[in-house]
Structure 1
Amino acid sequence: MFIVLAAVLAIAGTLAGGYYFAVRPVTLRIAVGPANSDDLRVVQALTQAFAQAHSHIRLRPIQTDGAATSAQTLAEGKADLAIIRGDLNVPKNAQAVATLRKNVAVLWVPPAMKGKKAGPKITKIAQLAGRRVGVIGRTQANVDLLKVILQQYGVDAGKVEIVQFPTNEAADAIRSQKADAYLAAGPVNSKITAEAIAASTRDGRTPTFLAIDSAEAIAQNHPMYEASEIPAGAFGGAPDRPEEEVKTISFSHHIVARKDISETTIAAFTRQLFAIRQTVMAEFPLAAKIETPDTDKDAAIPVHPGAAAFVDGEEKTFLDRYSDFIWWGLMALSAMGSAGAWFAGYLKKDERSNNSSLRERLLNMIATARRSDSIEELDQMQAEADDILRDTLHCFENGAIEEGALTSFNIALEQFHHAVADRKALLANLPQNLQRAGAQFRAAGTL
């Protein structure tokens, strides 16, 4: 019984422990950067929202120098999630969870300053050869983006002077006309891009936007890019900036996870992300740009199975995930109970065998009592019957014999008591000399 009880408690404890580990809060480290970037602010807002909602998933931001460093942090296993650019090298252990936002490449040429001699007007990308192009932002990824565009139009990047300006210095550089054309990459509603274009407006003259007419071809040759458009008036102003729709290319910032992270954990994170997005939008409108990942098999970044389960509505419930364990646990419990019962019965087989012998002895004593001619002998058998009763009750309490066996023993004991009582009554009515003669006759017959 103690062995079976211990087994039951062990299985119950295992199931309880499994349930605790299944529902306990899980903290995921997310690499994001650089400092003061929109990506970092959004992640910080999500971190607070997850904590305030007492969500199953919690976030712990790891600040990096940028998307490239975040990708490296994930590749080294120092982070569970990361915000990366889709046009950079994606770590081999990364799988998409969500699209944080889409960015467009914006190429424009400011109007020439009055009174300053300017070269031929630039209206096409092919005319950038021999010119100076300013790239807003310190990341090398934006420079690589410009080179991809130049390559598509047959412009040797070595013949283009590329200068990078920090985002906080871009407006002053544009006003000082330190470059002939500029490139910025960010969301359509990017504040940085809008301020840079506003700084390019002079005397009511708006900048000239360079269309990337070969966007489809670039997307075909470089799957991390997509053909896109900049809507008319996307950057405000009067007249609109731009005055009409401009073709361009876009790329995405993705939330990726290490592929060895549990499918259940990533499914829960994805569900919470889209459930809490509305809350974060009030403070950070960029959160409205968060989209589900591409679940196609030929996607540039393969989707994580957990995120795919959420998107496809195939997310497993607690019972779906652990029903097999529960079933096998119950089967193991049943098997251990049966084994325990057999083992307990095996340990008590000697008691059962001994009790069977005592019952047979009691039945033999019934026949002996009916032939006895001595009150003393009957008293001795009565005492022996009391000992047999005591042993039988002890076996019953220990579970060595069942209630049916105890009932049959009671019948035999009752018959013994009747035989003893009848024999004592008979002997009490016989004269002493007849009792002695009968005893001698039986003794002689025995001899």
Structure 2
Amino acid sequence: MRKLALPGGREVWLLGLAALLVLAAVAAFYATRATTLTVATAPHGGTEPALLRAYADELARRKSAIRLKVLTFDGVRESAEALKAGRADLAVVRPDVSMPGNGLTLAVLRNLAAFVVAPGATNIRSFPDLAGKRLGMLASRTADRALVGNLVAHHNLELRTDPPAEAVPGTAVLLVPVQEAEINAALGDGRIDGMVLVTTPTSPASRRVVDLIRAASVDHEVSLFGVADTAAVLARWPRLQPVTVPAALFGGNPRLPTEDVATVGTSYRLMARADLARSVAAEATQHLFEMRAALAESVPAAEDVASPDYEDTADATSARIPIHPGAIDYYEREQETFIERYESWIYLVAILGGGLGSTLAWLRQRIGRKRRERIEVATARLLELRSEARRETDRERLEALASEVDDLAGSIARHALNRPTEPRTLGAANVAIEAARSTIRRAQAGSGFLIS
């Protein structure tokens, strides 16, 4: 007696559903997981590291999709090198010190202006008037000294840092490091004739220095000037930038300065690798500006964060200090939508899902055909049993035929309960079962016995 097993497809469908769920979970994980960026900050102990640490903390507190890992370096040359070498995704960069070839600007963290402040009685009104003078300088960083040295050299003067035995030569300017608390005394005893500042003009430190010089001046008059030939200076040192000190910034009565002062300066910039994804760069820039007010509560310098100046996209990407396309997307409100950002993933899921769906449909069709073939085989066997029963007179053989008919009928019944079956195929099988049983009963009756 032969038994025919009818295959099932439930396992195949469960396997396909599980595969789809795993694929969807993987896609969701990659689409929603936080992106951690390494940021190199400098100078050590400066404003920028404090600002970016506060930014990293705020991103974590708000559970943002962007997170920062902060690395602190002693100077901006080292932080720029970290970006250039690929050890950081973002970095604090001062372009006049070191400009990494793979760095593109996200935001200006702080603009610096170079300008001179002196008591009015000194008659120092411009850089040429500094010949033979002594200039005080706060926190004399190497980069700031280099910038001042370039400005002095542009006016055919030599910047000296070693005090001469006698008076300062008429072809030189002596740079004297002083502390803020020493300014008044240094002006009084002739150690300095004025102060040169490389700083943010709106900073509290700038206002304090100007007030100290005003207080030390006999008539309370102050001279404040910058670089007159800004275009020429920028042509020689293109990584500097034009800066304007607004009129009356340090007082309105009398006005100081009396009018806008044009000068040159530099900036601390947050830069990103050129190959950083546009969407990630745009999001990092957006969060920085959105959180600026919150950051200013702990780091007041956050108020100085600004967008880089540019006229149009072509100007932004072709400038000497170019801007990252992702930052431009934020500034021009053209950030990628969810569909655009995850377009590749969506296409991949669609392609794989479509392929998996087609495979499952093929398997379903194939298994359905196999099921149909098995039922057809069973039906054909039932018809063979009917033909054999017509010719059979042996009692044991008729019992065996009846038992095989019952087995086939049971297999077909189980299949009909557990699997979808075409009505036509199932109807034919039922007719064959009844015909086979009827023929066997008649054969048994003709032989003088009948098994009910």
* Same fold at TM > 0.5: yes
Query: Which residue in 2 is equivalent to 1:215?
Result: 230
Q: CA 1:357–1:227 in structure 2 vs 1: closer, same or farther (change >3 Å)?
A: closer
Instruction: Give yes or no for the alignment of 1:103 onto 2:112.
Output: yes
Which region of structure 1 is more displaced relative to structure 2, 298-307 or 282-291? 282-291
Helix, strand or coil at the partner of 2:272: strand
Shift of 1:393: 4.9
Query: Which residue in 2 is equivalent to 1:442?
Result: none
Q: CA 1:178–1:125 in structure 2 vs 1: closer, same or farther (change >3 Å)?
A: same
- The residue type paired with residue 411 of structure 1 is V
Helix, strand or coil at the partner of 2:318: coil
Q: CA 1:38–1:167 in structure 2 vs 1: closer, same or farther (change >3 Å)?
A: farther
Instruction: Give yes or no for the alignment of 1:199 onto 2:208.
Output: no
Aligned-partner Cα distance in 1 for 2:182–2:318: 38
Query: Which residue in 2 is equivalent to 1:297?
Result: 317
Q: Which of these residues, 58, 61, 70, is aligned with residue 70 of structure 2?
A: 61
Query: Which residue in 2 is equivalent to 1:17?
Result: 26
- The residue type paired with residue 362 of structure 1 is L
Query: Which residue in 2 is equivalent to 1:406?
Result: 426
Q: Which of these residues, 270, 274, 286, is aligned with residue 301 of structure 2?
A: 286
- Contact kept? 1:34, 1:64, Cα under 8 Å: yes
Aligned-partner Cα distance in 2 for 1:185–1:57: 33
- The residue type paired with residue 432 of structure 2 is A
Helix, strand or coil at the partner of 1:200: helix
Q: CA 1:357–1:36 in structure 2 vs 1: closer, same or farther (change >3 Å)?
A: closer
Query: Which residue in 2 is equivalent to 1:132?
Result: 134
- Structure 2 unmatched ranges of 5 or more: 1-8, 161-170
Residues 408-447 of structure 1 aligned to structure 2 (within 5 Å):
408-422=428-442
Residues 169-318 of structure 1 aligned to structure 2 (within 5 Å):
171=183, 173-201=186-214, 202-236=217-251, 239-293=254-308, 294=310, 295=313, 296-318=316-338
Which region of structure 1 is more displaced relative to structure 2, 340-349 or 295-304? 340-349
Residues 317-356 of structure 1 aligned to structure 2 (within 5 Å):
317-339=337-359, 342=362, 356=376
Shift of 1:184: 0.6
Instruction: Give yes or no for the alignment of 1:49 onto 2:61.
Output: no
Which region of structure 1 is more displaced relative to structure 2, 188-197 or 352-361? 352-361
- Contact kept? 2:375, 2:429, Cα under 8 Å: no
- Contact kept? 1:133, 1:160, Cα under 8 Å: no
Q: CA 1:93–1:316 in structure 2 vs 1: closer, same or farther (change >3 Å)?
A: same
Question: What's the % identity of the aligned pairs?
Answer: 25
Task: Calculate the aligned-residue CA RMSD, in Å.
Answer: 3.6
Helix, strand or coil at the partner of 2:342: helix
Q: CA 1:58–1:5 in structure 2 vs 1: closer, same or farther (change >3 Å)?
A: same
Q: Deviations over 1:380-431 (max 9, x none)?
A: 42222123334545666886976643332112112222333455556669xx
Aligned-partner Cα distance in 1 for 2:268–2:354: 53
- Contact kept? 1:213, 1:248, Cα under 8 Å: yes
Shift of 1:285: 4.4
Aligned-partner Cα distance in 2 for 1:167–1:21: 53
Aligned-partner Cα distance in 2 for 1:387–1:427: 23
Query: Which residue in 1 is equivalent to 2:88?
Result: 79
Q: Deviations over 1:255-310 (max 9, x none)?
A: 11223433332222112111111223445443233222445122222222322222
Q: Deviations over 1:174-215 (max 9, x none)?
A: 454323343111112122222222222322332322342211
- The residue type paired with residue 426 of structure 2 is L
Aligned-partner Cα distance in 2 for 1:388–1:10: 36
- Contact kept? 1:104, 1:249, Cα under 8 Å: yes
Helix, strand or coil at the partner of 2:49: helix
Structure (1 or 2) with the larger CA radius of gyration: 1
Aligned-partner Cα distance in 2 for 1:27–1:306: 17
Q: CA 1:203–1:388 in structure 2 vs 1: closer, same or farther (change >3 Å)?
A: same
Shift of 1:62: 2.9
Which region of structure 1 is more displaced relative to structure 2, 392-401 or 8-17? 392-401
Helix, strand or coil at the partner of 2:317: coil
TM-score normalised by the chain length of structure 1: 0.80
Q: Which of these residues, 175, 180, 200, is aligned with residue 163 of structure 1?
A: 175
Q: Deviations over 1:216-256 (max 9, x none)?
A: 33234433333333223322385343333322123322111
Aligned-partner Cα distance in 2 for 1:91–1:166: 32
Q: Give the aligned length.
A: 422
- The residue type paired with residue 192 of structure 2 is A
Aligned-partner Cα distance in 1 for 2:362–2:294: 61
Helix, strand or coil at the partner of 1:248: strand
Helix, strand or coil at the partner of 1:249: strand
Query: Which residue in 1 is equivalent to 2:380?
Result: 360
- Contact kept? 2:187, 2:194, Cα under 8 Å: no
Which region of structure 1 is more displaced relative to structure 2, 160-169 or 87-96? 160-169
Aligned-partner Cα distance in 1 for 2:377–2:300: 89
Aligned-partner Cα distance in 1 for 2:292–2:241: 25
Shift of 1:32: 2.8
Q: Deviations over 1:329-349 (max 9, x none)?
A: 243234234435656877898
- The residue type paired with residue 328 of structure 1 is L
Q: CA 1:62–1:325 in structure 2 vs 1: closer, same or farther (change >3 Å)?
A: closer
- The residue type paired with residue 104 of structure 2 is Q
Aligned-partner Cα distance in 1 for 2:186–2:78: 27
